[in-house]
Amino acid sequence: MKDEVTREERIDNLKGMGCSRKRVEDARFTQGKGNYVDDIKLDGMLFGDFVRSPYAHARIKSIDTAAALKVPGVLAVLTAADLEPLGLHWMPTLAGDKQMVLADGKVLFQGQEVAYVVAEDRYAAADGIEAVEVDYEELTVLVNPFESLQSDIILREDLVAEDGSIPAGAHGPRKHHNHIFTWDAGDKLPTEEVIANAEVVAEESMYYHRTHPCPLETCGCVASMDKVNGKLTLWGTFQAPHAIRTVVSLISGIEEHNIRVVSPDIGGGFGNKVGAYPGYVCSVVASIVTGKPVKWIEDRMDNLMTTAFARDYHMTGKISATKDGKITGLKCHVTADHGGFDACADPTKFPAGFMNICTGSYDIPTAYLEVDGVYTNKAPGGVSYRCSFRVTEAVYFIERMIEVLAIELNMDSAELRRINFIKKEQFPYTAALGWEYDSGDYHTAWDKALKTVDYDGLRAEQTKRVEDFKAGKTRTLMGIGLSFFTEIVGAGPVKNCDILGLGMFDSCEIRIHPTGSAIARLGTISQGQGHATTFAQILASEIGLPADSITVEEGDTDTAPYGLGTYGSRSTPVAGAATAMAGRKIRAKAQMIAAYLLEVHDNDVEFDVDRFIVKGAPEKFKTMKEIAFAAYNQAIPGIEPGLEAVSYYDPPNMTYPFGAYVCVMDIDVDTGVTEIRRFYALDDCGTRINPMIIEGQVHGGLTEALAVALGQEIAYDDMGNCKTGTLMDFFLPTAWEVPNYETDFTVTPSPHHPIGAKGVGESPHVGGVPCFSNAVQDAFRPFGNRHTNMPHDHWRIWKMANELGLHD
């Protein structure tokens, strides 16, 4: 048989790895036919919503639900007293703490869930909420973690023994009744000694403010208890549906096989949808009580005020170096504000996430990190907002410390970075705080970035601008923001990464259909990343069937293999690896079938794009499509019928994507208005699966970084009132504020990942925040600015200029 199609055409037909395949998800989304949780409608479905606390710290003297129960359409009102007999008035958090599902005698933050009203529709639920009478006794509010650690006021009486002693918490001894844990990494005394004897030391304190992932779709769920079959179905905005199933089973006592958790289309997650929230528990209980499906959907204010904040790290650093700029040591202390409950979403053994990646991209021989977690009267959370666990905080810290050290050394910070980068030949590199970086080529990336933007030319222009400013010729300053980041993603190896005891492996199951198409199911869940498009591309290259013939399905725990979900850029590093490995199992069986069909020995055939060929005789071949059919219609001696495979992949290491970013910004000194003139982003995420999707991820991550650096925050007043509960106050950039970005790349594959991919979704956020912030700070460096805290909104930049005497 003569093959009319060239090998290149066969490769193109697969739409495999490396091509900018258009997304298969888009048809439904562009036509308004997505299926998000709030689109789910079931017969007789009820609607639940919360009575929330107006106070940040108060004792609850009484709750009267009588009037609410008389409101037309209201069916039930749940309080902690109703949940207590079921043992569901508290629930475990992902961080080893516990959290009230409904206020048990007191409230610890504004917006806390006090009662759950179940009604026929949203309007009736709102009427019911109005009619619930709660009598509060206000208590002194602690919103500052440093004051909290000194205060006599006990926020969590449940964590103090009857004799007044402080029992240890999930992460070891506690120093004070409002203290949660101390966690450290590295060598304390050697680091202090190096710093004490160093030629140059730079010190700085910085506050990485509290913010929020704020996906456009809020959190929500629909719980439906089928009392006839004893089966609970829970649809919801879950970034980790299997973990939710296990948690629901553990806390409800319903056997896991009787629980089906489904994540439908998810309207963005960014970390907000990793945790378990009281709304899920109350909806399940309400469905059991009423025998009807119950829906709960947050409104925007609920979302911003109560579910899963991010950051809130007070960081103090010391960095030491020789006179010529070689870094010798780094010390970091963090006071971490966790709010009223410790509901951080981190692997169990890492209560401060991977903050110990804070030595960054630099060869720093000695380092020490210590983190103290503290309770305050703020909302619980502490999720990784578009980053791996606390990596944004770590990268911001080191990239600011580098700038401060450059000021101390009177040196250019691009050069300071260059002379301290870990060298290409040092990989795999074990950092002072313990991680083993898999691969990197930092100098090449940095040189490419600086050359592309004409760094020297930019600095010359900036010098001229400063002269003009001093001469009164302009009121606009120019900032050049630099950042070089190394991420740590793909959690992670089961030996050190678990959540609630569940190892952080991931999975893929593939079934090849007789006619040569396939379905692949994964333990992850897309929230916009385009998994249905990209995972099919990995498979197309691995098994030689066109991506267009492969359906990718995620999010239904009844059908998908167990996995830990999508966050921390773990889908490609972990589930992507599982996909490739499952594909290779398919290929191994296909090889035996092909050899049988071609009447040669197994070792005499080899895989070639979309077929197995006889070695040395490529005209003799069987396509994967033919092999698939044979797997179902022939009795092949020694081989079971069918063509399926499953892989559970436990990664041997994390992956370490990196990148070099440059931002050029003009700042009006009199208004504080910033204008981003240029933003160049070079990302190295290892092997690239779909360049179009990578670029899209970079644009989006940079925009979320712009938001955080230039204005987005969750702010509280002294009474613990959240001042940023609506999109009026909480900054989300529009098309008008956002620049066009230039994207670029280098490719340094991960040596331990089956396809060399490292993950990219979060890199631009991690690298972007310090880059935007450094641009603002750099503009004011010639006038004495050393460090100013984010967010750099117009008013704060005006204030910065004012404090530096630039309005005099």
Partner 1 sequence: MSNKMHIKLNVNGKDEEFLAEPRELLIYTLRERLNITGPHIGCETSHCGACTVTIDGKSVKSCTMFAAQASGKSVTTVEGIGGPDALHPLQEAFKEHHGLQCGYCTPGMIIRAQKLLEEIPNPSEEEIRFGMSGNICRCTGYQNIVKSIQAAAAEMNAAKEAAE
Our finding on whether 513 is near partner 1 (CB under 8 A) is no
Gap between the Cα atoms of 272 and 309, Å rounded: 8
Would you count residue 703 as binding partner 1 (CB under 8 A)? yes
Which residues between 300 and 329 bind partner 1 (CB under 8 A)?
A: 300
Active site residue 387: yes
Is 804 exposed, middle or buried (CB count within 10 Å of its CB: 0-12, 13-18, 19+)? middle
Which among 529, 594, 603 has a CA at the least distance from the CA of 757?
A: 529
Q: In this structure, which amino acid lies at residue 68? A: A
Neighbours of 241 (CB within 10 A): 27
Residue 528 in contact with partner 1, rule: CB under 8 A: yes
Helix (H, G, I), strand (E, B) or coil at 497: coil
CA neighbor of 368 nearest in space, from 440, 438, 431, 436: 431
11, 36, 96, 551: which one binds partner 1 (CB under 8 A): 36
Write down the least CB distance from residue 561 to partner 1, Å: 24
Nearest-angstrom CA–CA distance, 263 and 445? 38
Ordered alpha helix ranges (H), 557-690: 577-598, 624-633
Residue 736 interacts with partner 1 (CB under 8 A): yes or no: yes
Considering the complex, state which of residue 493 and residue 528 has its C-beta at the smaller distance from partner 1.
Answer: 528
Instruction: Count Cα atoms within 13 angstroms, Cβ side, for 483.
Output: 40
Closest CA to 254 of 291, 227, 220, 292: 227
C-beta closer to partner 1: residue 211 or 335: 211
Name the 3-class secondary structure at 25. coil
User: What beta strand segments (E) does 650-787 contain?
Assistant: 658-668, 674-684, 742-745
Tell me whether residue 352 or residue 693 sits nearer to partner 1 (CB atom). 693
Check binding of 189 to partner 1 (CB under 8 A): no
Q: What is the largest CA-CA distance in the chain?
A: 90
Q: How far apart are CA 415 and CA 430, in angstroms?
A: 23
Residue 362, phi-psi category: left (phi > 0), alpha (psi -120 to 50), beta (remainder) = beta
* Rounded distance between C-alpha atoms, residue 772 and residue 624, angstroms: 49
Q: Which of 334, 338, 375 is closest to 356 using CA atoms? A: 334
Which H/E stretch holds residue 178?
none
* Residue with Cβ nearer partner 1 (268 or 365): 268
- Is residue 67 part of the contact set for partner 1 (CB under 8 A)? no
Residue of 600, 738, 804, 806 interacting with partner 1 (CB under 8 A): 738
**Distance from C-alpha of 20 to C-alpha of 22, rounded to nearest angstrom:** 6
Out of 7, 66, 87, 123, the residue judged to bind partner 1 by CB under 8 A: 123
Q: Smaller CB distance to partner 1: residue 47 or 396? A: 47
Q: Is 41 in the site for partner 1 (CB under 8 A)?
A: yes
How, if at all, do strands 179-186 and 294-297 pair?
Answer: unpaired
Report in angstroms how near the CB of residue 516 gets to partner 1 at its nearest. Answer: 25
Q: How far is the CB of 13 from partner 1 (least distance, A)?
A: 20
Of 635 and 728, which has the nearer Cβ to partner 1? 728
- Decide if residue 33 touches partner 1 (CB under 8 A): yes
Task: Determine if 732 is a binding residue for partner 1 (CB under 8 A).
Answer: yes
Binding flag, residue 27, partner 1 (CB under 8 A): yes
- Give the burial class of 45: count Cβ atoms within 10 A of its Cβ; 0-12 exposed, 13-18 middle, 19 or more buried: middle
Give yes or no for residue 675 binding partner 1 (CB under 8 A): no
Q: Is 656 in the site for partner 1 (CB under 8 A)?
A: no
Site for partner 1 in 7-26 (CB under 8 A): 22-23, 25-26
Q: Using the minimum distance from each CB to partner 1, give the nearer residue, 386 or 622.
A: 386
Q: How many CB atoms lie within 10 A of CB 613?
A: 19
Interface with partner 1, residue 1, by CB under 8 A: no
527 near partner 1 (CB under 8 A): yes
Distance CA 210, CA 475 (A): 32
Task: Please name the residues in contact with 145: beta carbons below 8 A apart, sequence gap of 6 or more.
Answer: 314, 335, 336, 337, 374, 376
288: helix, coil or strand? helix
Annotated active-site residue in 21, 156, 386, 390: 386
Task: Verify binding: residue 457, partner 1, rule CB under 8 A.
Answer: no
**Residue 236 in the binding site for partner 1 (CB under 8 A):** no
Residue 693 binds partner 1 (CB under 8 A): yes
Q: Which is nearer to partner 1, 727 or 747 (CB)?
A: 727
d(CA 127, CA 633): 63
Q: Toward partner 1, which CB reaches closer, 27 or 196?
A: 27
Angle at 605 between CA 602 and CA 611, to 5 degrees: 120
φ, ψ at 247 (rounded to 5°): -65, -45
d(CA 741, CA 746): 17
Q: To which residue do tokens 């709304």 refer? A: 279
What's the CA gap between 371 and 366, in Å, rounded? 17
Q: In angstroms, rounded to a whole number, what is the distance separating the alpha carbons of residues 502 and 246? A: 9
Applying CB under 8 A, what is the total number of residues that bind partner 1? Answer: 56
Residue 123 CB, nearest distance to partner 1 (Å)? 7
| Options 325, 530, 657, 720; binder of partner 1; rule CB under 8 A | 530
At residue 556's C-alpha, the angle toward residues 560 and 491, to 5°, is 60
Query: Does residue number 43 form part of the binding site for partner 1 (CB under 8 A)?
Result: no
Of 21, 762, 771, 777, which one is the catalytic site residue? 762
Of 195 and 266, CB closest to partner 1: 266
- In 634-791, which ranges are continuous DSSP H helix? 691-710, 763-780
Please pick, from the candidates 11, 38, 153, 794, the single residue that binds partner 1 as defined by CB under 8 A. 38
| Residue 717 tokens, joined | 């007043």
Residue from 10, 59, 98, 122 touching partner 1 (CB under 8 A): that is 122
- Find the part of the chain contacting partner 1 (CB under 8 A) among 118-126, 319-327, 534-542, 591-599: 118-126
Per-residue mark of binding to partner 1, 249-278 (x: CB under 8 A): ----------------xxxx-x--------
Q: Which of residues 761-790 bind partner 1 (CB under 8 A)?
A: none
Distance CA 17, CA 15 (A): 7
Q: Is residue 692 involved in binding partner 1 (CB under 8 A)? A: yes
121 binds partner 1 (CB under 8 A): yes
Annotated catalytic residue, options 387, 508, 663, 685: 387
The residue with tokens 């499906």 is 293
Binding mask 564-583 vs partner 1 (x if CB under 8 A, - otherwise)? Answer: --------------------
The reply to whether 349 sits near partner 1 by the rule CB under 8 A is no
28 binds partner 1 (CB under 8 A): yes
Whether residue 239 lies in the annotated active site? yes
To partner 1, the closest distance from the beta carbon of 620 in angstroms equals 40
From the candidates 99, 112, 239, 527, which is the catalytic residue? 239
Q: Is 386 a catalytic residue?
A: yes
Binding segment (CB under 8 A) for partner 1, from list 109-117, 321-329, 501-509, 690-698: 690-698
The minimum distance between CB 65 and partner 1, in angstroms, equals 21
Pick between residue 252 and residue 712 the one whose CB is nearest to partner 1: 712
Of 317 and 725, the one with the shorter C-beta distance to partner 1 is: 725
Cβ of residue 675: shortest distance to partner 1, in angstroms?
13
Backbone angles phi and psi of 615, in degrees to 5: -55, 130
Between the alpha carbon of residue 507 and those of residues 265, 281, 522, 540, 576, the distances in Å are: 20, 27, 6, 17, 9
Site for partner 1, rule CB under 8 A = 22-23, 25-34, 36, 38-39, 41, 121-123, 214-218, 265-268, 270, 297, 299-300, 527-530, 692-693, 695-696, 699-704, 726-728, 732, 734-736, 738, 740-741
Catalytic residues: 239, 386-387, 762
